[in-house]
């Protein structure tokens, strides 16, 4: 993809499609005013006749407009000017993506970026418009015998800027948006593949392919024998009932010499049946998404490697299936984790924490500056925060704030839930050091407290993405979240002089 910035007036820009907007109450955007002038009051006339709507997200494509150099003119409704901020901007760019796809555009010039007043405006608006548009052009056709004829991948995008001084910052934003979108696409593909294709072995192969395509990126895959040797009995207890071999995948991006790495750990349960504590049938297919933590961290390291950031980043992915069989772990079984702590498995469906705890213990050897695990861990998280925000739980306020701020600026938001002794006490077991489930409420928090028992020596945060990693219903599919938030976090880390 080729990205360009331009201070050219909208009527003069040469492009297949010029994108402008109109607000309610005959209120024209900067570019719409310009076009209205050069085109003899065209925009005002269209509004007066009701041929274009200023309602948020509505759009109208005009062809063969006189007096402009663009081949087409896309007019988008921006709603109330006073209410137009980043969320509305994203919504409008979604509509633009629909028009871009329906017209199979090869290139376009986006002048909506001039309308965002948040600071630093050009940076944020360029980032968001490219991310939103590329994200909405995404399609998953891998498993269809005939791909739908909707595919559209523009080759050139022009972003309008108000001042030449903003060009460099905006170009950087375009590059970052491009890398983040590529990372999201990797994460979305991995999530959308069904469990009969996306096995732990498949995840390992994909990681190897990705490692080959970027400089400074390497991969190491441990098989079951190696996992056993490491003493990861908790991880292995989950895969006991499955014929598919488990894998422990690690990837290392080295962009900053001997600096302490950031470590991301992603839950890679390629299908979660619940095991002997079997899940109910309705919507069980969605448990193919139970490896979205893994997909997120793989997508993030790909984005970071694409940007070649001056930072060290390691990802660790425990990958396996959770299935019942005659060899599956039974409720009440007690196992010893890699840390030496023993766990009573009261519910085999609380398996995510069982694979993550050993991966977290293993990751201590990298001496992480920060360690963050990412997991579709609890249904309770969806109850608490719905599908809008990722939950953050941490033993380090400074880290939790850095993550939440990265979520705000990348518009891929998160919200903190508390932790504490009173929640941790719910994990009490009569037969082992503790149980894998907490009686009583606060299921997302007790899950985090369980993981907290394995991260005492590290600055750690846990992200529960059960509500944000995929969408159900007729738009069912993986979202690629929270690749933007985590990449933003790593970008910020790479800008820190002292780290």
Nearer to Mn ion, 105 or 292 (CB): 292
- Compare residues 10 and 275 and give the one whose CB is closer to Zn ion: 275
Smallest gap from Cβ 450 to ligand BES, in A, equals: 10
Q: Are 304 and 488 contacting, i.e. CB atoms less than 8 angstroms apart? A: no
For residue 350, the minimal CB distance to Zn ion (Å) is 8
For the chain, the maximum distance between any two Cα atoms, rounded to a whole number of angstroms, is: 82
- In angstroms, give the least distance from the CB of 47 to Mn ion: 53
Cα distance between residue 168 and residue 75, in whole Å: 28
Q: Tokens 């200023």 map to which residue?
A: 54
Instruction: Give least dist CB 274 to Mn ion, A.
Output: 5
Whole-angstrom distance, CA of residue 184 vs CA of residue 344: 37
**12 among known catalytic residues:** no
How far apart CA 417 and CA 330 sit, in angstroms, is 31
Residues 362, 346: Cα–Cα separation, whole Å:
24
Site string for ligand BES, 444-473 (x = CB under 6 A): ----------------------x-------
Sequence-ordered strand ranges (E) for 296-403: 312-322, 334-336, 342-344, 370-375, 390-394
C-alpha count within 13 angstroms, C-beta hemisphere, residue 237: 33
Question: Of the two residues 10 and 352, which places its CB atom closer to Zn ion in the complex?
Answer: 352
131 or 272, CB closer to Mn ion?
A: 272
290 binds Zn ion (CB under 5 A): yes
- From 90-98, 101-109, 343-351, 365-373, span contacting Mn ion (CB under 5 A): 343-351
Question: Is residue 464 a contact point for Mn ion (CB under 5 A)?
Answer: no
Catalytic residue, chosen from 127, 353, 389, 413, is 353
Measured distance CA(220)–CA(207) in Å, rounded: 9
Q: How many residues bind ligand BES (CB under 6 A)?
A: 16
Gap between the Cα atoms of 392 and 12, Å rounded: 48
3-state secondary structure of 459: coil
Q: Is 279 annotated in the active site?
A: yes
Quick check: 321 binds Mn ion (CB under 5 A)? no
Residue 271 vs residues 15, 206, 213, 285, 394: alpha-carbon distances, Å = 46, 17, 28, 9, 27
Which span (93-101, 153-161, 207-215, 346-354) binds ligand BES, by CB under 6 A? 346-354
CB of 288 to Zn ion, least distance (A): 11
The least CB distance from residue 355 to Mn ion, in Å, is 10
List phi, psi (to 5°) of 283: 65, 15
Q: CB of residue 294 vs ligand BES: minimum separation in angstroms?
A: 12
Q: Is 25 left (phi over 0), alpha (psi -120 to 50) or beta?
A: left
- Which residues in 357-376 contact ligand BES (CB under 6 A)? 376
d(CA 467, CA 414): 11
- Rounded to 5 degrees, φ, ψ at 316 are -130, 125
Site for Zn ion (CB under 5 A): which residue of 131, 189, 240, 272? 272
User: Residues 352, 452, 482, 484: which binds ligand BES (CB under 6 A)?
Assistant: 352
Q: Is 344 in the site for ligand BES (CB under 6 A)?
A: no
Q: Select from Zn ion, Mn ion, ligand BES, none the partner in contact with residue 466, using the beta carbon and a kind-dependent cut-off of 5 to 8 Å.
A: ligand BES
Are the CB atoms for 290 and 352 separated by under 8 Å? yes
Using the minimum distance from each CB to Mn ion, give the nearer residue, 377 or 486.
Answer: 377
Residue 473: which residues within 8 A CB-CB, separation 6 or more?
none
**Smallest separation, CB 287 to ligand BES (Å):** 6
Smaller CB separation from Zn ion, 272 or 488: 272
Work out which of 36, 178, 272, 358 binds Mn ion, going by CB under 5 A.
272
Q: Which of 318, 352, 407, 452 binds Zn ion (CB under 5 A)?
A: 352
CB of 352 to ligand BES, least distance (A): 5
The count of residues interacting with Zn ion (CB under 5 A) is 4
Tell which residue, 317, 282, 95, has the closest CA to residue 206.
Answer: 317
3-state secondary structure of 27: strand
In the set 34, 131, 250, 349, which binds ligand BES (CB under 6 A)? 349
| CA–CA distance, 499 with 366 (Å, rounded to integer) | 16
3-state secondary structure of 76: strand
Residue 196 per-residue DSSP state: T
Is residue 161 classed exposed, middle or buried when 0-12, 13-18 and 19+ CB atoms within 10 A define those classes?
Answer: buried
228 phi and psi angles, rounded to 5 deg: -65, -45
Which single residue brings its beta carbon nearest to ligand BES?
379
Residue closer to Mn ion, measured from CB, 279 or 387: 279
Residue 304 or 375 having the CB closest to ligand BES: 375
Q: Which stretch binds Zn ion (CB under 5 A): 15-23, 94-102, 261-269, 361-369?
A: 261-269
Query: CB-wise, 189 or 272, nearer to Zn ion?
Result: 272
Residues 76, 112 contacting (CB under 8 angstroms): yes
Chain centre distance of CA 414 = 12
If binding is defined by CB under 5 A, does position 349 make contact with Mn ion?
yes
Among 10-18, 181-189, 289-297, 472-480, which window interacts with Zn ion (CB under 5 A)?
Answer: 289-297
Task: Give me the active site residues, please.
Answer: 279, 353
Query: Which residues of this chain interact with Mn ion, rule CB under 5 A?
Result: 272, 349, 351
Query: Which residues of this chain interact with ligand BES, rule CB under 6 A?
Result: 272, 290, 347, 349-352, 376-380, 382, 437, 443, 466
Query: Which residues of this chain interact with Zn ion, rule CB under 5 A?
Result: 269, 272, 290, 352
């Amino acid at each position: 993809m080729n990205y360009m910035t331009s201070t050219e007036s909208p009527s003069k820009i040469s492009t297949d499609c010029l994108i402008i907007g109109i607000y309610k109450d005959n209120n024209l955007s900067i570019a719409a005013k310009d076009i209205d002038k050069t085109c003899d009051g065209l925009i005002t006339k269209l509004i007066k006749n009701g041929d274009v709507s200023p309602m948020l997200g509505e759009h109208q494509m005009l062809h063969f407009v006189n007096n402009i150099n663009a081949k087409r003119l896309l007019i988008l409704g921006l709603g109330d000017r006073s209410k137009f901020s980043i969320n509305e901007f994203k919504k409008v760019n979604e509509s633009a993506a629909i028009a871009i796809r329906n017209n199979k555009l090869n290139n376009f010039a986006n002048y909506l970026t001039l309308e965002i007043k948040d600071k630093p405006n050009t940076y944020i608006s360029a980032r968001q418009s490219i991310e939103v548009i590329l994200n909405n052009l995404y399609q998953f056709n891998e498993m269809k015998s005939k791909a739908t004829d909707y595919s559209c991948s523009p080759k050139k995008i022009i972003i309008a800027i108000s001042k030449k001084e903003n060009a460099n910052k905006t170009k950087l934003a375009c590059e970052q948006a491009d890398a983040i979108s590529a990372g999201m696409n990797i994460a979305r593909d991995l999530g959308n593949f069904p469990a009969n294709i996306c096995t732990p072995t498949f995840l390992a192969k994909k990681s190897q392919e990705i490692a080959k395509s970027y400089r400074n990126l390497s991969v190491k895959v441990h098989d079951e024998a190696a996992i056993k040797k490491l003493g990861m009995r908790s991880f292995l207890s989950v895969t006991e009932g499955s014929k598919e071999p488990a894998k422990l995948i690690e990837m290392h991006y080295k962009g900053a010499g001997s600096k302490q790495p950031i470590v991301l750990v992603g839950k890679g349960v390629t299908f979660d049946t619940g095991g002997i504590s079997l899940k109910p049938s309705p919507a069980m297919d969605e448990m193919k998404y139970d490896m979205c933590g893994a997909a997120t961290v793989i997508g993030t390291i790909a984005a970071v490697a694409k940007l070649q950031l001056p930072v060290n980043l390691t990802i660790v992915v425990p990958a396996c299936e959770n299935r019942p069989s005659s060899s599956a772990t039974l409720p009440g079984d007690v196992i010893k984790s890699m840390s030496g702590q023993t766990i009573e498995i009261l519910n085999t469906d609380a398996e995510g924490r069982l694979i993550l705890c050993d991966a977290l213990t293993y990751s201590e050897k990298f001496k992480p500056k920060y360690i963050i695990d990412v997991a579709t861990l609890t249904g309770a998280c969806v109850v608490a925060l719905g599908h809008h925000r990722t939950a953050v739980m941490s033993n380090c306020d400074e880290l939790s704030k850095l993550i939440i701020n990265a979520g705000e600026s990348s518009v891929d938001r998160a919200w903190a839930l508390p932790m504490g002794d009173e929640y941790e006490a719910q994990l009490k077991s009569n037969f082992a050091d503790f149980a894998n489930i907490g009686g009583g409420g606060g299921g997302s928090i007790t899950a985090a407290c369980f993981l907290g028992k394995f991260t005492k020596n590290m600055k750690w945060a846990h992200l529960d993405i059960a509500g944000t990693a995929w969408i159900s219903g007729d738009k069912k599919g993986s979202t690629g979240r929270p690749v933007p938030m985590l990449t933003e976090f790593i970008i910020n880390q790479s800008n820190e002089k002292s780290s």
